[in-house]
Structure 1
């Protein structure tokens, strides 16, 4: 891992810059890695949701809840991937999955604790500010647990400390990311269902319709396709927060200098 060879310049960025950078990161340096990881994680999750909808005849509300439940822990795989890909030229699928597995149980604990906290915040549904504030407070538990090696409860504390005084910005970023996911879902629905099946092949909508029945295989495909984008955008927002809060860009530069000095010293001793 080359600390002085980060794929992006570490500096404070606007929300629009972070989202644009996330899209470019997904499409260029991480595309092949994400595709392989997606085939192992997102594709089975999509097939499971399709089976629930079309074989088990679940309601689309239940199917979407299942999709969210599956996508939440899968985000961790892509969080590890983007964290490694940022500093390494080559990252294998095995390396990502091994690191994720090593932190799997603390990570699941962090997700359970954070979702309980989020659920309690949701009891204030009659207000708008409280649920969004709680959502922002637990946003970075993925990075805190998987990348900073924090415990389940420690991840929640670390994530909360990161947004102190910055909750509106973190909440705004989450809302923009949500709009991005909606764009993925709508694009998949329009391109696959309306464009390919209805217009080109003229077979109607045998796999459901987002606009008429509340969901479709195409919309689910778009949702799971958005998971790498969501994870990457949140990671870049996490990097932005650390740069603003901890001066992480300066820390990494000093770490890189120290690593280079150590290597030079070892070569001199040899």
Structure 2
């Protein structure tokens, strides 16, 4: 497997690029994705039919819109979409690094985490509550605003809050397979992993979810309207009958849900790429694996050639000449002169203007007769184009000015004097600036400041200073290289040659990320566990320095 040649290119993308890529992924994997989505959606469609099919009226009048049925069906599918997509999500997770995963393997992987899916996607996300609500509805009574409107809106609001700020619970359970409950404090549970993944990018994820929600509404109307139009054209029956409401309307929503499942998975990949540096890591690992393969091949060739030369005593130059003379004629070898001869290559006749086109030759636009209306439209289009260009230039200038102002405000006069007053050398100040997080007013002694905050009971700030001190100490001993853009886990990976220090740094890193990114309060036991590792940390550093 080529780690840098994945089926989906690993790189950062914006929301529009992700929506576009989701269409391409859906096109490539259309059949298996539809089958995987059907595995989860068909049982839910049967349950929905049993729960709310009685709400449909008997009349087949186009103007008689069954609002109650459509309302409850929409809410049910909205709540059930993450649950129905478990097989499709697992398939996509395997398809990133494999060509065509087997559906049997997908089903087996989903079965492993079935209890976690039941808890997180059925009970917590409101699916079970919606089922109980509809089971308790009076089938022979009138419309109840409390049961039919208020309580479903509460469930929808609850689900929107969870899915807009914590959209990747399904991916965490299915792909990362974290446990719900940890056996010790070091275990990364689903909740802890969710905070680590969603916390730093909650604002961006919120905007992406609402963008996808608006897209889903438009696509659902388009797909269902297309189905209604096709049925009307083919059958000459324009009534919105029971077949359309029972089959076509849910199928339209489930089709859009399949597309949004792909979009959510790609957004999950993008979040991990941004936070964990997948793009660079996969390329480095791929080059390392290829280098090992080439070294093995080179060693094998050297052994073979050495053995061959040991057995043969003929002149290698003469042997090569005989091989070329006895074999077929090569365009680059002259047998009579025993030398190389030039090879004439006919250049391609493609036009340079059309180098990026799929056409093999330039095409000429036919001369069209111009009219007054066409001239006006062309002038209007040209004017709009210039207005757009001017607006874009003005926006770029404004952004440049804002960035310059922000940079100048950050570089306040006297900052070097302030660093000197705090006793920070320029090298130490550069190390602090290269930390993967910013520290306002860094003290001269980070360890002493951590101890002071510890004694005052400010454990969160003490943990920040303690982890900063450990990173700076590792950089001073050339065990890691502090560089802007690196993540904490990349620094942890750089300590692979020192497993003892890596084991000591890991709990500090986890506690720091919960405090700094997750905004959680650190317990005294967690901090003291990290603090008590300092003596061993210093001993390991001293052992590396002492020859």
TM-score bracket relative to the smaller structure? 0.7 to 0.9
Deviation at 1:21, TM superposition (A): 0.3
**Alpha-carbon deviations, 1:14-73, whole Å to 9, x = none?**
100001101110111x1121132234333443354345444x337423333333344331
The equivalent of 2:6 in structure 1 is 6
- What secondary structure sits across from 2:76 in the alignment? helix
1:156 aligns with 2:191: yes
- 1:181 touches 1:226 (CA, 8 Å); kept in 2? yes
- What secondary structure sits across from 2:178 in the alignment? coil
Structure 2 Cα separation of the partners of residues 186 and 264 of structure 1: 55
- 1:80 touches 1:99 (CA, 8 Å); kept in 2? yes
Structure 2 Cα separation of the partners of residues 47 and 185 of structure 1: 20
Aligned with 2:275 (options 230, 238, 245): 245
TM-score (norm 2): 0.41
The equivalent of 2:264 in structure 1 is 234
Cα gap change, 1:145/1:266 in structure 2, threshold over 3 Å: closer, same or farther? farther
Deviation at 1:6, TM superposition (A): 0.9
Structure 1 Cα separation of the partners of residues 273 and 296 of structure 2: 31
Cα gap change, 1:264/1:74 in structure 2, threshold over 3 Å: closer, same or farther? farther
- 2:82 touches 2:170 (CA, 8 Å); kept in 1? no
Higher helix share: 1
TM-score (norm 1): 0.79
1:57 aligns with 2:55: yes
Cα gap change, 1:134/1:110 in structure 2, threshold over 3 Å: closer, same or farther? closer
Gaps of 5+ in 1: 210-214
The equivalent of 1:27 in structure 2 is 27
Structure 1 Cα separation of the partners of residues 105 and 291 of structure 2: 27
Structure 1 Cα separation of the partners of residues 198 and 275 of structure 2: 9
- 2:73 touches 2:250 (CA, 8 Å); kept in 1? no
The equivalent of 2:104 in structure 1 is 94
Deviation at 1:254, TM superposition (A): 3.4
The equivalent of 1:103 in structure 2 is 113
Aligned length, in residue pairs? 253
- 2:168 touches 2:194 (CA, 8 Å); kept in 1? yes
**Alpha-carbon deviations, 1:193-234, whole Å to 9, x = none?**
2x023344232111277xxxxx66322111111222112111
Structure 2 Cα separation of the partners of residues 139 and 73 of structure 1: 12
1:77 aligns with 2:93: no
Aligned with 1:224 (options 238, 241, 254): 254
How large is the RMSD of aligned CA atoms in angstroms? 3.2
Deviation at 1:144, TM superposition (A): 1.2
Alignment of 1:154-233 (within 5 A): 154-193=189-228, 195-203=229-237, 204-207=239-242, 217-233=247-263
- 1:110 touches 1:156 (CA, 8 Å); kept in 2? no
Cα gap change, 1:144/1:169 in structure 2, threshold over 3 Å: closer, same or farther? same
Gaps of 5+ in 2: 57-67, 130-150, 182-188, 301-547
Structure 1 Cα separation of the partners of residues 180 and 286 of structure 2: 30
- What secondary structure sits across from 2:11 in the alignment? coil
Deviation at 1:113, TM superposition (A): 6.8
